[in-house]
Amino acid sequence: MEKKRYERPVIKRLETGVPAKFGRPQKPEIMSDIDGVSVESLVNQFGSPLYVYSEKQIRDKYRKAYKAFSTRYPKVQFAWSYKTNYLGAICNVFHQEGSWAEVVSGFEYDKARALGVEGSKIIFNGPDKSVEDLEKAIKNDSPIHIDHLDELYTLIELSGKAGKKPSVAIRINMDTGIYPRWDRFGFNYENGQAWDALNKIMHSGKLELIGLHTHIGTFMLSTEAYRVAAIKMADLARGLKDKFNHKIKYIDMGGGFATANTLKGSYLPGDDITPSIEDFAEAITSALVNAHFSTDELPVLVLESGRALIDEAGYMIGTVLANKRLATGQRATIADIGVNLLFTSFWYEHKVKPAQEVTQFTEPSKIYGPLCMNIDIMRDNIELPLLNKGDRFVVHHTGAYNNTQWLQFITLRPNVVMIDENGQPHLIREKESLEDIKKLEQIPEHLRNFEL
Amino acid sequence: MKINPNIAINENGLLFNPSTGESFRVNPTGARVAELLKEERSLDVIISKIQEEYEVDRYTLEKDIADFIQLLKNNALIQNNE
């Protein structure tokens, strides 16, 4: 007789009373493959933990977003936000789809150049641009988004030296009716800082003002805030036309659109409350269309969406290392994915699905990572099916920020693979080895030997 | 160790304790272990019986059954006089 799949014995007291608002709990969903490639075969080939990207899902998401904006506004340009995920293969999928690059440091700028992005298609944002970075950007005709007056004066100075007018935009911060209000980047709209900066640029005669930029926040669940922002940006653009008879080429609305992830403390799951990309597109484009630009002065709408385009196309496969019961009686599962690899578990309640058959039985559990650190908690409280040691699971919506904010901490960083549109997995970043770490370190002569 | 002899377990995994009026739900392995406990089998017998029926190693099973017995105790389903 063939033996049955084992599941640890559990008992749960039945509570009578009012049913939950959302009805009976559902049978746990199982995810045994990603884009048709079985989780087990991926682990066998590339190990666990493992980052997995779906090329198909990235392209689908990009095309859906592009369509949402381009069907509502005639001139749309996306620029891929490098800080969200700058693995070369990921960036190149976006560049193949037509995205420019949006970078926030000299390192990211060089990375975009090394991948072959033309200088004029690299938008240079952020508060930290060294003189060398700025000189490079001026030479390559990259749009430089000015963050503060110190940078503005540096650029005026460099313009004289280079004998060439840098192409610039300024970053605007504003009140869009949301909290928190991001006022640390750029120049404020309401208090006149923005006009002060624009006047300085126009009167200097040394800078070519080509655009206006804003980025109102991150993981925004309100489309109204974008409508307000677009109205204020259009107002500045029209004002430049009236005051200086100057036409800007683009309005850059940044990104910050929320994804289907669930923020910690959120009452409802992310999939239920996140506005669709069409909702965001409608809010922004209708405000710009209603600003009544004349046909020849209609600015290009630039979008720097990062998270919304990659988050849901990224998965992590992990393995259960152990199960234990805590002093409080709560079940704890220790997994091989820690906060060093899944940085976003600090603010998301990531969806976790088992990769093999389970019954409908679950236990309220904590999922710990493998690190010997008390803060290493992947999920604080989750109704988890009864996973055995060695079982695999899939963590959802991990594509944004995890491969840029990951830490080489206690363990080495694992393999990253991308499944192409034909269901073929490709290694896109090799796992680190001790040699990789040692290569960067130097031990002074007098510290080389010791006796114990 | 002895499970409360009055409890009733049905094939759908419903466990009823008539002395408190409480109902519980057990998964198939849980039901099997509870039945064996009711039959007053020793831990060794329970472990080998479960191993005959399920794909599981002895260490995992020992650990999980100890945990399950703790859950039964927490729910006052095991008599404490032993």
Pairing of strands A392-395, A352-354: antiparallel
Among A49, A77, A55, CA closest to A310? A55
Q: Quote the minimal CA–CA distance from B1 to chain A in Å.
A: 17
- pLDDT reported for residue A425: 98
- Tokens representing A64 are 């859906």
Domain annotation covers residue B79:
no
- pLDDT reported for residue A22: 58
H or E segment to which residue A399 belongs: none
3-class secondary structure, A323? strand
Q: Quote the minimal CA–CA distance from B41 to chain A in Å.
A: 17
Domain annotation covers residue B82:
no
- pLDDT reported for residue A26: 64
Domain annotation covers residue B23:
yes
Partners of B23 on chain A (C-beta within 8 Å) are 13-14
> What is the b/e burial string over A152-181, where b = at least 16 CB atoms within 10 angstroms of the residue's CB?
bebbbebbeeeeebbbbbbbbbbbbebeee
Widest CA span in chain B: 36
- pLDDT reported for residue A359: 83
Residues 6 or more apart in contact with residue B24 via CB below 8 angstroms: A11, A12, A13, A14, B14, B15, B16, B17, B75, B77
3-class secondary structure, A258? coil
Q: Quote the minimal CA–CA distance from A33 to chain B in Å.
A: 23
Of B24, B53, B67, the CB nearest to A13: B24
Residue A305's Cβ-side half-sphere holds a number of Cα atoms within 13 Å equal to 27
Domain annotation covers residue B52:
yes
Residues of B in CB contact (< 8 Å) with A are 15, 22-30, 32-34, 52-56, 60-61, 64-65, 67-68, 70-72, 74-75, 77
Residues 6 or more apart in contact with residue A44 via CB below 8 angstroms: none
- pLDDT reported for residue A95: 98
A196: left (phi over 0), alpha (psi -120 to 50) or beta: alpha
CA atoms of A278 and A146, how far apart (whole Å): 30
Q: Does A388 touch chain B (CB under 8 A)?
A: yes
Of B30, B52, B55, the CB nearest to A10: B30
- pLDDT reported for residue A360: 83
Residue range(s) defining the domain that contains residue B31:
8-74
- pLDDT reported for residue A25: 57
- Tokens representing A95 are 């560049």
Residue among A1, A10, A11, A12 with most chain B CBs within 10 A, to mutate: A11
Q: Does A9 touch chain B (CB under 8 A)?
A: yes
Residues A254, A154, A300, CA angle at the centre, nearest 5°?
A: 30
**Domains of chain A by start residue, with CATH:** 33-52+312-432 (2.40.37.10), 55-311 (3.20.20.10)
CA atoms of B76 and B38, how far apart (whole Å): 14
A-B C-beta contacts closer than 8 Å: 71
CB contact under 8 A, A12 and B25: yes
ipTM at complex level: 0.78
Reading chain B (82 residues) residue by residue, the pLDDT tens digits are 678 888 899 888 899 988 888 899 999 999 999 999 988 888 899 999 999 999 999 999 999 999 999 889 888 888 755 4
Reading chain A (452 residues) residue by residue, the pLDDT tens digits are 788 889 999 888 886 655 556 555 567 899 999 999 999 999 999 999 999 999 999 999 999 999 999 999 999 999 999 999 999 999 999 999 999 999 999 999 999 999 999 999 999 999 999 999 999 999 999 999 999 999 999 999 999 888 899 999 999 999 998 888 888 899 999 999 999 999 999 999 999 999 999 999 988 889 999 999 999 999 999 999 999 999 999 999 999 999 888 988 888 888 888 999 999 999 999 999 999 999 889 999 999 999 999 999 999 999 999 999 999 888 999 999 999 999 999 999 999 999 998 888 889 999 999 999 999 999 999 999 999 999 999 999 999 999 999 999 999 999 999 999 999 999 999 999 999 999 999 999 999 999 99
> In 10 A of CB A69, how many CB atoms?
23
> In 10 A of CB A239, how many CB atoms?
14
Residues 6 or more apart in contact with residue A272 via CB below 8 angstroms: none
CB contact under 8 A, B54 and A11: no
- pLDDT reported for residue A23: 58
- pLDDT reported for residue A75: 96
Burial degree of A82 (CB within 10 A; 0-12, 13-18, 19+): buried
Residues 6 or more apart in contact with residue A442 via CB below 8 angstroms: none
- pLDDT reported for residue A266: 84
Tally of domains within chain B: 1
Among A439, A432, A440, A322, CA closest to A51? A432
Domain annotation covers residue B80:
no
CA atoms of A429 and A451, how far apart (whole Å): 38
Q: Quote the minimal CA–CA distance from B71 to chain A in Å.
A: 7
Burial degree of B11 (CB within 10 A; 0-12, 13-18, 19+): exposed
3-class secondary structure, A215? coil
Residue A111 is which amino acid? K
Residue A151's Cβ-side half-sphere holds a number of Cα atoms within 13 Å equal to 25
Domain annotation covers residue B3:
no
CB contact under 8 A, B64 and A9: yes
CA A249, distance to chain mean position in Å, is: 26
CA A130, A110, A136, A249 dihedral sign is: negative
- Tokens representing A417 are 């693979």
Among A373, A432, A428, A435, CA closest to A408? A432
- pLDDT reported for residue A371: 95
Partners of B68 on chain A (C-beta within 8 Å) are 8-11
| Residues β-bridged to residue A171 | A213
CA atoms of A376 and A373, how far apart (whole Å): 6
- pLDDT reported for residue B66: 92
Domain annotation covers residue B81:
no
Q: How far apart are the first and last CA of chain B?
A: 6
- Quickly tell me which residue has 């928190």 as its tokens: A180
